[in-house]
Structures are given as C-alpha cells and as structure tokens.
Structure 1
Amino acid sequence: MRIAVVTGSGTYALPGLADASRTTVETAHGAVPVTLGAVDGSEIVHLARHRDGHELVSHQVTHRANVAALQQLQVDAVLAVTVCGACDPSATLGSLLVFDDLHFLSNRLPDGSLCTLHDTPAAPGRGHWVFEGPFSEPLRRALLAAAADADLAAADGGVYGHVDGPRFNTRAEIRSLVAAGVSAVSQTAGPETVLCGEAGIPYALLGFQTDYANGVGDEATPVSTLLELIARSTASFSAVLAGAIPRVAADPPAAVGTSLTWD
C-alpha cells in the first residue's frame, strides 16, 4: 500500500521518513516535487504543498498537478495536515481537530477556474462526485486513535472552512463562516479534498489550531504566537502521522462516495 502525506505551512520535510529520495512527477498540469520513502515498512509519498522554503503561497499551490501526481504514483490514501485559524472561542490553541465536513462554496481553484478534474468534454470518467461526507471515515478514525495514543487532544469532527488567500479574513467574513458552522479555516485544503474525491483517493484532514480567526477572541492573536504555534505544529503532526500510518496500512480504506459518470 502506498500512502501520501500532504503537509502545509511549517512542515516542509517529513520527520521519520526512511530511505528518503526526492523526485519530480511530470503531469499534464505541471511538475510536482515529492519525496519517496517509508514509515514502518509502508511506502510513503510526501508532498509539501508550499514546497521547500514556502516557495508557493496559498494562491499559488498547484492543486490539480498535486492530485494528478498522486494518481500517477498510484497512491491508495492521503493523510493531510493543515495549520488553521479557530472559529470557536472555546477552542484551545495548539490543539488538533480531525475534520468531518467541508465549507467550500466557491468550489474554485486559485486561478478562478472550477475545482474539478473534469475539464474536457467527452473525456472518460467525466461526471459528478456523490458523497455524504467528504472525508474518509476510516482515515479519520486512524488519525483520532493515533492522537489519543500520543496523548494529544484532538476534536472528533468539525467543519473545515476553505478561504482564499493570501490575506487573512475580515471580522465580517469570519462571522458569516461561524454562522455556517465552520470550526476552523485555512487556505489550501478545500481544492485538495474535492480533487482527491474526484480521483477516487480516500482523504482525511488533520488541523492544528494556531490562532483565533479575526473577531473570534476578545483580542487578536499576536503574530508571534501564530508563528510559535506553526513551529510547534510539526511535532504534533509527526506524532499523529507516525501512529496513523500503520493503522491505515493494516486496513486500507475504500474511496469516499462514488462517481456518477456517462462513459
């Protein structure tokens, strides 16, 4: 089984990856650098969304190329992580949550085009991704169990709110997301969730709350605190992933939902 780990801000290398080697995957949507290796005998593909040194800010992340690369590498499951802004004033900064729903109304990629792999008329596989929940339940359970084993607090469920970057959101924008039930926000995982779903790759998302979104707390989270927690997130992510990967390898999940196609 081959498992992909997708990381974001603050995590550009995957600690504990054995026999690591860098390669570049050429896709119809662009070239994608990845690192291949192993964790506890499982084949791992590590993809850093922002690339080394945070080369790409959020609106430059190459989502379609990334998912196409994972398809070409025949990845069986994706464990993704993101640092995020809490929309719940009772949330503890530095805590984790394993999302179970998605708020991504625009359904658009950073260039403004629709977020889909189905961009060519009459292409094989064209259709609609049909699902109840967008995230893989077996992968979510693996993340939650691994967090518990690592003595890390992780909320079971929450709505991931995808917001466009690179700027942060206004108070009015966050109020509208809170009203829609969003638990935490970040700027990259919406397209990733949808494209993996269309590709038939099981996907789950683990969040680490680094700040309170604008207007959520009585006072704004200092940027210094945000940066400190981003730096701390890598250790938490690594601990959970180390425990989740063997669980996923032992019980491979099925794809989320199905595709309504016209082939």
Structure 2
Amino acid sequence: MRIAIVTGSGTYRLPGLGAAPTVEVGTRFGSVPATFGPVAGEHELVHLARHRDGHELVSHQVTHRANVEALRVLEVDAVLAVTVCGACEPDAELGGLVVFDDLHFLANRLADGSPCTLHDEPGAPGRGHWVFDGPFSPELRRALLRGAADAGLAVRDGGVYGHVDGPRFNTRAEIRSLRAAGVTAVSQTAGPETVLCGEAGIPYALLGFQTDYANGVRDEPTPVETLVSLIAASSERFAAVLEAAIPHVVADPPAPVGTQLTWD
C-alpha cells in the first residue's frame, strides 16, 4: 500500500523523512516535489507539502491539480491530509483537532477562476461527474480518529470544513454567512484537494487543527501571536496523529469515495 500525507502551513517535513531526497513528479499540470519513505513494513509513505519548503507558495498559488495528478501518477492508495484552520464556533478550543465529515465549497473554483476539476479536455476518457454522499473516506476518517485516540489526543468526530479564498483572511460578514451554513472551521486550501482527489478516485480524509477564531466569532479577535504560536505547535500534534493512524489505514484499506458517472 502507498499512503500519501499532504501537509499545509507550518509542516514542511515529516519526522523520519527529513533526510529523504526530494523527487520531482511530472504531471500534465506541472511537476510536484515529493519525498518517499518506508512505513509499516512493506508499505510506502509519500509526503507532499502543499506550500513547499519555506512556504514558497501562498494559498492561491498552491498547485492543486498538479498535486492530485501526481498522487494519481504515483498510484497512491490513500491520502491523509492536514490543515490549520480558523474556528467558526465560539466554544471551540484553540489547539483542538477536528476530523471533518462534510465540505462547504460552493464556488468549486480554483484560484485562477477556472473550474475545480481534472476533466479539462472534451472527450477525454473518464470525463464525467463525481457522485457521493459524504466527500471524505469513512475508513480514513476512522483511522484518523483512532490515531488521535492512540496518541492520547482529544479530537472532534465530524464537522463541516469551509473552503475560503486567500490569501487574505475573511471579514465578519463572510464568516457570518459561513456559520449560518453550518461551517465548523475554515482554511484556504483543502476544498480543491478534496474535490480533485474524489474525481481521481483516491480515498481522502482531512484533519484540522484550530489555531484562531475566525473574524467575528468572538468579541475579541485572536491575537496574531496566538495564531503564529499554534501554527508552530500544529506540526508535532499532526505528526503524532498521523504516525498512529497509519497502521489503522493498513489494517482497514479504504475504497474510493462515491461513484464516477462517466461518459466513455
């Protein structure tokens, strides 16, 4: 089994892969740097950092289609993704973990305004629609929840991930509308990733770490110093959950989410 870990702000290398060489994976959407290493015996781990080393790419520059196409080229069997995020609920605990079970991404657009899809060529094999109930893999969600428990960390089971455009943060009015739609927490990268992995038939699950309260959620805004401190702390917390979750992924391999309604 080949398991991919996709990380975001604050996590650019994984423990155990720090000395691993970076390999450029070529795709029709451009090349993507990735690192590889063994995990759980005969299985392999692939790490992809959305923002690349040194946070080279800010949120609107992340190469989502190339990233997911690289995972497909590499024949990845599962993706465990993480994101730091802003809490939309006033009673949320900063530093708390969430394994999301639903997605709010109404625009379904990439940062350049183009549709968020791998189906960009008329008549191409596999073109069609991704049909699903929930967008995240049940098996991988269970693996993350069990991994958090094994690591001794509290985690929320379920929540709506809200994708927002960056790189700026959101206004109070924007957050009010998202809260009315039931969004639990927001960040700027995982919406396209979820959709594209679904289209590619790659099982995907998302773990969030709440670093701040989104604008207007509380009377007083979260100090920037708190946000920065918690982003720094997220890497260790994510690593603990992911390390503990991987054996559960191996023990309960995931199936692709939903159905591909194609026109071949």
Alignment of 1:13-28 (within 5 A): 13-17=13-17, 20-28=20-28
The residue aligned with 1:167 is: 168
Match of 2:21, SS state, is strand
How many residue pairs get aligned? The number is 263
Shift of 1:88: 0.5
Alignment of 1:14-53 (within 5 A): 14-17=14-17, 20-41=20-41, 42-53=43-54
Aligned residue identity for 2:233: R
Distance 1:19 1:38 in 2: 13
Distance 1:150 1:217 in 2: 30
Match of 2:255, SS state, is coil
Matched, 1:208 2:225: no
Alignment of 1:113-262 (within 5 A): 113-262=114-263
Could you tell me whether the CA contact under 8 Å between 1:162 and 1:186 is conserved in 2?
A: yes
Distance 1:223 1:73 in 2: 38
Normalising by structure 2, we get a TM-score of 0.98
Aligned residue identity for 1:110: A
Shift of 1:16: 2.7
Query: CA 1:18/1:84 → structure 2, altered by over 3 Å: closer, same or farther?
Result: closer
Query: CA 1:173/1:107 → structure 2, altered by over 3 Å: closer, same or farther?
Result: same
Normalising by structure 1, we get a TM-score of 0.98
The residue aligned with 2:97 is: 96
Could you tell me whether the CA contact under 8 Å between 2:211 and 2:231 is conserved in 1?
A: yes
Could you tell me whether the CA contact under 8 Å between 2:17 and 2:35 is conserved in 1?
A: no
Shift of 1:40: 2.7
Distance 2:174 2:115 in 1: 22
Identity of aligned residues (%): 78
Could you tell me whether the CA contact under 8 Å between 1:18 and 1:38 is conserved in 2?
A: no
Cα RMSD (Å) of the superposition? 1.0
Distance 2:171 2:131 in 1: 33
Match of 1:82, SS state, is strand
Distance 2:122 2:31 in 1: 24
Could you tell me whether the CA contact under 8 Å between 1:210 and 1:226 is conserved in 2?
A: yes
Could you tell me whether the CA contact under 8 Å between 2:24 and 2:34 is conserved in 1?
A: yes
Could you tell me whether the CA contact under 8 Å between 2:8 and 2:51 is conserved in 1?
A: yes
The residue aligned with 2:88 is: 87
- Give the ranges of 4+ consecutive aligned residues of structure 1 lying more than 6 Å apart after TM superposition: none
Gap runs ≥5 in structure 1: none
Q: Which string of whole-angstrom CA distances, capped at 9 and with x for unpartnered residues, describes residues 223-244 of structure 1?
A: 0000000000001100000011
Gap runs ≥5 in structure 2: none
Shift of 1:249: 1.3
Could you tell me whether the CA contact under 8 Å between 2:185 and 2:210 is conserved in 1?
A: yes
Shift of 1:153: 1.2
Shift of 1:119: 0.8
